[in-house]
Amino acid sequence: MPAGEPLGEAPAADSSGPVYIIHKHDASRLHYDLRLECDGALLSWAVPKGPSLDPAHKRLAVMVEEHELDYADFEGAIPQGEYGAGTVMVWDVGTFEHVGKGSMRQAAEEGYIEFRLHGRKLRGLWKLVRTNWGAGNNWLLIKKNDEYADRTADVTTAMPDSALTGPSMEEIGRQSGGG
């Protein structure tokens, strides 16, 4: 984890699968950080527009550094001047199943990850696909067409608040002394 990012508590052990989390992060720009547990760490992608339930929407997902598992449930304000400064919210949390071939690490190295989410907000089948542009860090996050797909709703607008504690980004920023 980059220096300056506060540690949260590790999520409670859950025998139903590895941890999945999306942090809503109001740093230099508002974005959503998708995190999937792999080998005791969190593989992480910054998703500028956030996830979409519409399988026709392919969302840019920029792979960033792995984070420590302890960071999974962090909510609060990262102080100005620190890496990632701004308010962080646990927008969604749950578990996931890697449903592709091979191990999760192997799928990430090969650039194609299929997974089933069991989140509080997001559910069903998703995929991450690495693109050929942007130094290998650019991926696409795509909702698979299943019973949880929705071509009409904007899930980030419909459910803007914390899945972990309930408050809005503004409330978390105020409670943390960041806004």
Q: And the tokens for 98?
A: 């890697």
What is the per-residue pLDDT across 44-56, written as a single tens digit (0 to 9) for each?
999 999 999 999 9
- Confidence class for position 5, pLDDT limits 50, 70, 90: very low
Q: What pLDDT does residue 108 have?
A: 95
| Range in 7-16, 41-50, 54-63, 99-108 with the lowest mean pLDDT | 7-16
Percent of the chain whose pLDDT exceeds 90: 77
- Confidence class for position 133, pLDDT limits 50, 70, 90: confident
Domain positions in the chain are 19-168
Q: How far apart are CA 162 and CA 156, in angstroms?
A: 11
- pLDDT of residue 143 exceeding 60, the answer is yes
pTM assigned to the model:
0.88
Q: What pLDDT does residue 13 have?
A: 40
Q: Write the DSSP string, 131-165.
A: -SSTTTTEEEEEE-SSTT--SS--HHHHS-S-SSS
| Residue 17 CA: distances (Å) to CA of 29, 45, 63, 106, 117 | 31, 20, 22, 18, 10
- pLDDT of residue 9 exceeding 50, the answer is no
